Structure 1
Amino acid sequence: MSTSTSDTIFLVISLIDFVGAFISIGISLHLAYTKMDVMLNHLQNCPAVMIRAPFRNGGPWGNMFLLGAIMGVMTTPRLYLRDGGACAEDLKNFPAGLRRKLVILQWTGWGLLLVMFGLAAVAEFELV
């Protein structure tokens, strides 16, 4: 059995996407367990984050849920400032390097998910 070039390309892209998702989850867990105190201390006046703060004691899933809320606030601050879910002073005082990491991690996750959906669509159309 020989594979065509398109099958090989599909496989390589799938493997890169899958490994990228695992790396992204690993980085997220690392940030959730090592930098959560710093993030919560800087976002004490943000109701969108503090209402989810008790999930921190919920193990890896709770930490990821809380980190997702923080990444959402960092990625789309205007949305949270408009409805009162974030405090402008807290966002201004948040460490710039950590904010950059969170935003990059958020967009990387969305990109990997988009690639996965694209690969699923290609696989579905290929079978027809």
Structure 2
Amino acid sequence: MNTAELVVGGLCGLVIVCMFIWIGVALYMAYTKMDVMLGCLKNSSSVMSMASLRHGGPWGKLLLVGGVSGFITFPGFYLRRGSINAEDVNNFPAPLRRKLVALQWTVIGLFAALALLVAVGKSGVLK
């Protein structure tokens, strides 16, 4: 392995470590803010259909936080389909909204970075 391949491999490892940190942050939010999130979105049919996941252990809570952050980050998509209530989204607490939006964009960025690094590593450009 040459130096460039080692750097790309190290960056992939760093992204994976960041993904585990992201999971920890999402689980922390799930265990501390879940009641607030579900209380603010009680009129949204998609959120209430996913609400049973809160009793599904850590994996269910992670899925629920991911779903709620998707609803809050991209409300236009779900409002057009009638999955969420516009009033619920507008009344969602701003500090929690910022955290969920940051959480969603962070995971999108981490997956994109990992895909890019793997594509560069597999392409043979570094040899």
Aligned to 2:28: 30
Unaligned runs of 5+ in 1: none
Distance 1:32 1:10 in 2: 33
CA positional deviation for 1:5:
3.2
TM-score by length of 2: 0.91
Match of 1:21 in 2: 19
Count of residues in correspondence between the two structures: 126
- Deviation digits for residues 86-110 of structure 1 (CA, Å, limit 9, x no counterpart): 1111111111111111111111101
Long gaps (5+) in structure 2: none
> Which residue is equivalent to 1:95?
93
> Following superposition of structure 1 onto structure 2, how do residues 80-91 of structure 1 map, counting pairs within 5 Å?
80-91=78-89
**C-alpha contact (below 8 Å) 1:48/1:69 kept by paired residues:** no
Percent identical: 46
Query: Does 1 or 2 have the higher relative contact order (CA < 8 Å, sep 6+)?
Result: 2
Equivalent runs, 1:38-49 vs 2, <5 Å = 38-49=36-47
Q: Distance in 1 between matches of 2:96 and 2:16?
A: 25
Q: Distance in 1 between matches of 2:118 and 2:99?
A: 28
Matched, 1:11 2:9: yes
CA distance in 2, matches of 1:21, 1:69: 17
Q: TM-score, normalised by structure 1?
A: 0.90
